[in-house]
Amino acid sequence: MAGNKISLADWQAKMNPAATTTAVKNDPNLVYSTDSGKISAKPTAKPQPEAFADGAVRIRRETKGRGGKAVLTISGIARPHDELVLLAAKLKKKCACGGAVKEGVIEIQGDKRELVEQLLQAEGFKTKWAGG
């Protein structure tokens, strides 16, 4: 029985001869392969946010799924991701709070709707409050 031992790679090749190492290299979830070493990740494009038809930026207060904590979400700004990050940084600094940019939506921690609305209007945006 000792002479019948084969490696895992050989066994997988016998079980599925159509699978090749190129298929493994193209797997987006693969980080490291013993065959070729570290797999470099391909850069993914950030989604381009879309503006609303009326051209207004929506400021919405959300608490659902956030442990009861209030978060302002600002959507409808059709700008590249890098510009959204800079705008979010400016808002966070003026509001003295945290936040992030996720999928084209700026999130600001806390309920500072009036201040955020004034800052966005000073930047030249038309704003509307959405939700409750």
As a dihedral over the C-alpha atoms of residue 129, residue 98, residue 111, residue 84, rounded to 10 degrees, the angle is: -10
In a domain, 108, yes or no: yes
Task: Answer yes or no: is 14 within a domain.
Answer: no
3-state secondary structure 21-87: HHHHHCCCCCCEECCCEECCCCCCCCCCCCCCCCCEEEEEEECCCCCCCCEEEEECCCCCHHHHHHH
- Give residue-wise pLDDT tens across range 72-95: 999 999 889 999 999 999 999 999
- pLDDT tens by residue, 8-45: 877 777 777 665 555 555 666 665 656 666 666 666 66
* Stated pTM of the model: 0.63
Domain membership of residue 11 (yes or no) is no
Q: Are 56 and 128 in contact (CB under 8 A)?
A: yes
CATH number of the domain where residue 112 is located: 3.30.780.10
Would you state the pLDDT for residue 43?
A: 61
Q: How many domains does the chain have?
A: 1
Residue 2: inside a domain, yes or no? no
Structural domain includes residue 89: yes
Residue 70 lies in a domain: yes
For the segment 35-55, what is each residue's pLDDT rounded down to a tens digit?
A: 666 666 666 666 667 777 788
Which residues constitute the domain of residue 113?
A: 57-130
